[in-house]
Amino acid sequence: MTTPKYKRILLKLSGEALMGTDAYGINPKVIGEICGEIKAVADLGVEIGVVIGGGNIFRGMAGTATGMDRATADYMGMLATVMNAMALSDAMRQCGLNARVQSALNIEQVVEPYIRGKAIRYLEEGKVVIFGAGTGNPFFTTDTAAALRGSEIGAEIVLKATKVDGIYTADPKKDPAATRYDKISFNDAISQNLAVMDATAFALCRDQKLPINVFSIFKAGALKRVVCGEDEGTLVYC
Ligand SMILES: Nc1ncnc2c1ncn2[C@@H]1O[C@H](COP(=O)(O)OP(=O)(O)OP(=O)(O)O)[C@@H](O)[C@H]1O
Ligand SMILES: O=c1ccn([C@@H]2O[C@H](COP(=O)(O)O)[C@@H](O)[C@H]2O)c(=O)[nH]1
């Protein structure tokens, strides 16, 4: 039997990854496959909190490009993450996982509000908890929400599941000569402005001594390999 290295994790799922090859929104096949990857880890007895992004639906910075007020655009971005959280929860139900959505913004007819103690109880009961609406504050990102919720629930690691297979010397989508780090310290990631994750998220995890592993959500079995302590993606350490 495979032994997990971590008892409790915070998984940051890319919103954009949910699009698959579509131009926008949520691709049902892709979200189903992602749930399969998560179930493989839940079946090991690992407690899983999830923060989901919103880039497949709305990004605050894109709104401001058209002249929209930044805070208004950011609230729209947070609402987009709630839609993704609801879609993910339903896809989890369809693959046999028991999930709960908690939102940092109060929309109680739709999803539960974020209550830390209740989230921890759900985790102890073996339920996956999906944290929607990011931090609940404009001018932040869901990466920072992952660092925050990961710290709050006592996760042992933040796993950033994204479209690239780790952290590179430069954005690999723009610079084909970029090379991947197996591991990198928080201080180096911050000082080199590596834009795979925002500096606020890196700094919070560093201060809380909460490691991060960045890996590709499109690589089959990668999530399970990271959880089992195998060499996958890039580890960010103190
Ligand atoms: N040094 C780097 N190493 C790896 N990726 C990088 C780097 N610099 C920039 N990137 C880009 O960062 C992206 C991941 O971060 P981004 O915030 O865009 O996505 P996400 O958090 O996965 O998605 P979403 O915001 O939709 O939830 C990668 O797809 C990659 O193109
Ligand atoms: O704490 C938060 C989290 C997110 N936002 C806004 O939502 C979008 C989508 O989140 P991504 O992390 O980019 O996927 C983000 O661009 C912000 O506009 C926020 O304001 N506060």
Ligand 1 atom with the smallest distance to the CA of 192 is 1
Distance (angstroms) between ligand 2 centre and the Cα of 25 equals 16
Q: Report which protein residue has its CA nearest ligand 2's atom 4.
A: 141
Residues with CB under 6 Å of ligand 1 are: 14-16, 53, 55, 142-143, 162-164, 167-168, 170-173, 194-196
Lowest mean pLDDT among 18-32, 55-69, 92-106, 216-230: 55-69
The best mutation among 50, 64, 74 to test binding of ligand 2, ranked by most ligand atoms within 8 Å of the C-beta, falls on: 74
CB–CB of 214/226 below 8 Å? Answer: no
Tokens standing for 218? 């499109």
CB–CB of 63/73 below 8 Å? Answer: yes
Structurally, how many domains does the chain consist of?
1
18 secondary structure, DSSP code: G
Nearest CA to 54 out of 100, 86, 92, 97 is that of 86
Going by pLDDT thresholds of 50, 70 and 90, the confidence category of residue 59 is confident
Distance (angstroms) between ligand 2 centre and the Cα of 37 equals 24
Asked whether the ipTM of the predicted complex exceeds the cut of 0.95, the reply is: yes
Segment 79-89 shows an average pLDDT of 98
Q: Report which protein residue has its CA nearest ligand 2's atom 16.
A: 59
For residue 127, tell me if it sits in a domain.
Answer: yes
Q: Does 140 belong to an annotated binding site? A: yes
Question: 237 pairs with which residues across the strands?
Answer: 185
Q: What is the pLDDT of residue 64?
A: 86
Distance CA 15, CA 173 (A): 17
pLDDT tens digits, 203-223: 999 999 999 999 999 999 999
Going by pLDDT thresholds of 50, 70 and 90, the confidence category of residue 63 is confident
- For the chain, how many helices (H) and strands (E)? 8, 9
Average pLDDT, the chain: 97
What CATH number corresponds to the domain at position 79?
A: 3.40.1160.10
Distance CA 43, CA 182 (A): 27
Q: Where are the alpha helices (DSSP H) in the chain?
A: 28-42, 60-65, 70-94, 116-124, 142-152, 186-191, 199-207, 222-227
For residue 191, tell me if it sits in a domain.
Answer: yes
Nearest CA to 227 out of 101, 48, 89, 96 is that of 48
For residue 172, tell me if it sits in a domain.
Answer: yes
Q: Does 137 belong to an annotated binding site? A: yes
pLDDT tens digits, 105-146: 999 999 999 999 999 999 999 999 999 999 999 999 999 999
Handedness of CA 63, 132, 3, 208 (dihedral sign): positive
For residue 135, tell me if it sits in a domain.
Answer: yes
Question: Secondary structure of the chain: what % helix, strand, coil (to 5)?
Answer: 40, 20, 45
132 secondary structure, DSSP code: E
For residue 213, tell me if it sits in a domain.
Answer: yes
CB–CB of 52/15 below 8 Å? Answer: yes
Handedness of CA 37, 208, 234, 86 (dihedral sign): positive
Going by pLDDT thresholds of 50, 70 and 90, the confidence category of residue 1 is low
For residue 2, tell me if it sits in a domain.
Answer: no
Q: What is the pLDDT of residue 60?
A: 82
Q: What is the pLDDT of residue 97?
A: 98
For residue 3, tell me if it sits in a domain.
Answer: no
Q: Does 18 belong to an annotated binding site? A: no
Segment 174-193 shows an average pLDDT of 98
Q: Check pLDDT > 90 for residue 166.
A: yes
Distance CA 13, CA 44 (A): 19
Distance (angstroms) between ligand 2 centre and the Cα of 127 equals 25
Lowest mean pLDDT among 14-23, 62-71, 129-138: 62-71
Q: What is the pLDDT of residue 201?
A: 98
Sheet holding 128-132, edge to edge: 112-113, 99-103, 128-132, 47-52, 8-13, 157-162, 212-216, 234-237, 183-185
Q: Report which protein residue has its CA nearest ligand 2's atom 11.
A: 53
Distance (angstroms) between ligand 2 centre and the Cα of 142 equals 5
Q: Report which protein residue has its CA nearest ligand 1's atom 29.
A: 163
Question: 168 pairs with which residues across the strands?
Answer: 180
For residue 1, tell me if it sits in a domain.
Answer: no
Full residue range of the structural domain in which residue 62 is found: 8-237
